[in-house]
Amino acid sequence: MTMQTRKYVYAVFGFAITALAVLRQEPLQAQERVIIASTGGAYDRALKEAWFDPFTEATGISVVIVSATNAEMRAKAAAMVQAGNVSWDLYLEGEIQAASDAHKQVTEDMSSFCTRFANNTDLAANACQAGGALLQSTATLLVYRPDQVGTNPPKTWADMWDTAKYPGGRAFPNFDDPWRVLAAALMADGVKKEELFPLDVDRAFRKLDEIRDEVSLWWKTGDQSVQGFRNKEYDLGQIWLTRAKALKNEGLPIAWSYQASFLVGDRIALIKGAPNRENALKLVEFWLANPQVQARACDVLSCTPPSVEALSMLSQESRASMPTSAELSDSVVIPDAEWINTNAATLLQRWNSWVR
């Protein structure tokens, strides 16, 4: 065998050994991941850049994002648990729904996990609860195009209903928790925020009848509300502040009013039987334990992080865009989660009958 032939054989043999080693490692490497369901678009991009990518860099665990509507996430999670064939680990759930009995049937009680943060005074008192870890708090509010409303912009839900003063298409959410649309209708009809709950459902639907023909977009996902604004499908709408901030970051003409807003939040929920449970808990812990990660995400999304230190890290622009203490006390509505969860099925049935 010539020297050249010998080198070639050694090279091939070495390549074969390397390839075999890689193949043997692949099943192990494939397990080093966590799958999380979210609502897609700019929201997911912000979380990926601020949270998921740094987590992967620090741990080597990849984060796989599945996009779905909130209703799809709930239905999918419930179906997987019932079938005993769970492929997701985590999903993002509204804070109100995370306190419901239906949520408890599908997700793991995280109380034991939360004990590791019991002495963490930097985190808000509700940062980690049985129903999940707090991702962020934000608002559902009235947004509008400043270039379409003149010098006296809309501020209240009554303005949203005033199509003579503010002509143009309207947008409202249409998914499985219609309370916020009903609440806006009641406030447009003169109900004070202190008297909002329990909701007068009949009165709310009568008020919605007045504006129904002006609604040009019934959005089902946050990304759909963003796309609709980009495409000029509506001029005034009820959307999440996180999505409104994403549009503003794109340079689009958008403004909003805290005088027409509801305080809401998202929780990170762990599905029962999650295939990558330990990795999922590592991802949740990475969020709660890293104020700088929370600050980066909320700088983009204009949200309130669970960490006090993270608040101090936010840019001046982000802090300026948050509601003032006066706005919080005078205007922002904190929904009655217990009433909403107790009446969720009835509200949804009435809503589906009306919106069709």
Model confidence pLDDT, tens digit, residues 279-337: 999 999 999 999 999 999 999 988 999 999 999 999 988 887 777 666 777 888 999 99
Quick one: average pLDDT of 342-346?
96
17 belongs to a structural domain = no
Residue 13 pLDDT > 50? no
Within this chain, do residues 143 and 82 fall inside the same structural domain, yes or no? no
Within this chain, do residues 147 and 219 fall inside the same structural domain, yes or no? yes
Of the pLDDT bands very low, low, confident and very high (cuts 50, 70, 90), residue 248 is very high
Within this chain, do residues 226 and 351 fall inside the same structural domain, yes or no? yes
Predicted confidence at residue 234, as pLDDT, reads 98
Within this chain, do residues 68 and 78 fall inside the same structural domain, yes or no? yes
Within this chain, do residues 133 and 279 fall inside the same structural domain, yes or no? yes
Within this chain, do residues 56 and 80 fall inside the same structural domain, yes or no? yes
φ, ψ of residue 107 to 5 degrees: the values are -115, 160
Predicted confidence at residue 23, as pLDDT, reads 38
- The distance of Cα 24 from the centroid of its chain, to the nearest Å, equals 38
Q: What gap in Å lies between CA 224 and CA 70, rounded to an integer?
A: 12
16 belongs to a structural domain = no
Between 17-26, 214-223, 333-342, the lowest mean confidence (pLDDT) is in: 17-26
Which range of residues forms the domain containing residue 239? 138-264+321-355
Report if pTM > 0.85. no
Of the pLDDT bands very low, low, confident and very high (cuts 50, 70, 90), residue 99 is very high
Closest CA to 171 of 204, 209, 143: 143
Q: How many domains does the chain have?
A: 2
Between residues 3 and 281, the one the model is more confident about? 281
Of the pLDDT bands very low, low, confident and very high (cuts 50, 70, 90), residue 178 is very high
Q: Which residue has the tokens 């129903």?
A: 131
Closest CA to 253 of 101, 125, 147: 147
Predicted confidence at residue 199, as pLDDT, reads 98
Predicted confidence at residue 45, as pLDDT, reads 94
Within this chain, do residues 177 and 249 fall inside the same structural domain, yes or no? yes
- What mean pLDDT value characterizes the chain? 90
Predicted confidence at residue 26, as pLDDT, reads 41
Predicted confidence at residue 318, as pLDDT, reads 85
Predicted confidence at residue 46, as pLDDT, reads 94
Q: Is the peptide bond before 198 cis (omega within 30 degrees of 0)?
A: yes
Within this chain, do residues 178 and 271 fall inside the same structural domain, yes or no? no
7 belongs to a structural domain = no
Quick one: average pLDDT of 185-210?
98
Within this chain, do residues 116 and 220 fall inside the same structural domain, yes or no? no
Quick one: average pLDDT of 83-87?
98
Distances (CA, A) of 212 to 192, 203, 234: 22, 14, 13
Of the pLDDT bands very low, low, confident and very high (cuts 50, 70, 90), residue 18 is very low
14 belongs to a structural domain = no
22 belongs to a structural domain = no
Within this chain, do residues 180 and 93 fall inside the same structural domain, yes or no? no
Closest CA to 43 of 260, 306, 227, 254: 227
238 belongs to a structural domain = yes
Within this chain, do residues 130 and 245 fall inside the same structural domain, yes or no? no
Closest CA to 98 of 337, 276, 278, 339: 337
Residue 181 pLDDT > 60? yes
Helix (H) or strand (E) holding 329: helix 325-330
Within this chain, do residues 92 and 194 fall inside the same structural domain, yes or no? no
Predicted confidence at residue 9, as pLDDT, reads 36
Between residues 269 and 11, the one the model is more confident about? 269
Contacts of 223 by beta carbon, 8 Å cutoff, 6+ apart: 39, 40, 41, 42, 43, 67, 243
252 belongs to a structural domain = yes
Model confidence pLDDT, tens digit, residues 127-153: 999 999 999 998 999 999 999 998 999
The CATH number given to whatever domain includes residue 70 is 3.40.190.10
For residues 108 and 270, the answer to whether their CB atoms sit within 8 Å is yes
At residue 199, what is the residue type? L
95 belongs to a structural domain = yes
Predicted confidence at residue 41, as pLDDT, reads 87
Predicted confidence at residue 309, as pLDDT, reads 97
